[in-house]
Amino acid sequence: MLLEARLQAASEPTNNAALGRRVLDALKHFDAQSVGFYWPLPGEFDARAAISIWLTGSPQRKASMPIIKERGLPLEFHAWSPDTPMKIGHHKIAEPTTGRMVIPELLLVPCVGFDADGYRLGYGGGYYDRTLAGWPGAKKPITVGVAYDACRTPALEREVHDIPLDMIVTETGLHARAVG
């Protein structure tokens, strides 16, 4: 049901234009200099245009996309720019071929669904939860879910390893997670 709602919302050009503006608003709000984001699957928002615009704002900014070295392991983020050659990796998802690792200060995370407490529903592989749980260094990245309002649900079932996101960005705005 959420996948269908997301596909429908993603088919509306006005939703995608608004979501692109909101992603840029979130990047400005957090003022991160390195961002990790994702190659879009069908129905997921394609953040590449927004990230390309963001990159032009400062030569110090870096963008990266995840690669899956091996199923079941945390994601690695490798440098990406609009002209980066890509290859098809695990799960038939495009990955950058740069080989240069980047530790992002902020992660844009795709959502199939989300709730007010900042929990997200993904595809069930656990890649983002595993990656965040094993993040290198003491400072974890800011996590920003990217979703359509149509994918909001009152509450998602949670497992012990689920980690809430700091914010969810939709076509209508920036939604900080409820605390307490």
Q: Which two tokens stand for residue 56?
A: 């032009």
**Mean pLDDT (whole number) for 111-115:** 93
47-79 pLDDT tens trace? 999 999 999 999 999 999 999 988 888 899 999
**Mean pLDDT (whole number) for 27-46:** 95
Least confident stretch, 12-21, 35-44, 75-84, 135-144: 135-144
- In 3-state terms, the chain is what percent helix, strand and coil (to 5)? 25, 25, 50
Domain boundaries, the chain: 2-174
Structure confidence at residue 178 (pLDDT): 65
Q: Are 44 and 91 in contact (CB under 8 A)?
A: no
Residues 143, 168: Cα–Cα separation, whole Å: 8
- Res 179 pLDDT > 70: no
With 0.85 as the threshold, say if the pTM is over it.
Answer: yes
At 179, which amino acid appears?
V
Residues 166, 171: Cα–Cα separation, whole Å: 17
Report the candidate in 43, 37, 7 with the shortest Cα–Cα distance to residue 23.
37
- Res 169 pLDDT > 70: yes
Q: Are 33 and 58 in contact (CB under 8 A)?
A: yes
Task: Give the angle 59-104-45 at the CA atoms, nearest 5°.
Answer: 90
Residues 37, 39: Cα–Cα separation, whole Å: 7
DSSP string over 151-178:
GB-S-----TT----SEEEETTEEEEPP
Averaged pLDDT of the chain: 92
Answer with the residue of higher pLDDT: 96 or 155.
96
**Using CB atoms within 10 A of its CB, is residue 157 exposed (0-12), middle (13-18) or buried (19+)?**
exposed
Residues 106, 149: Cα–Cα separation, whole Å: 22
Residues 84, 72: Cα–Cα separation, whole Å: 26
- Res 102 pLDDT > 80: yes
- Top CATH class of 2-174 equals alpha beta
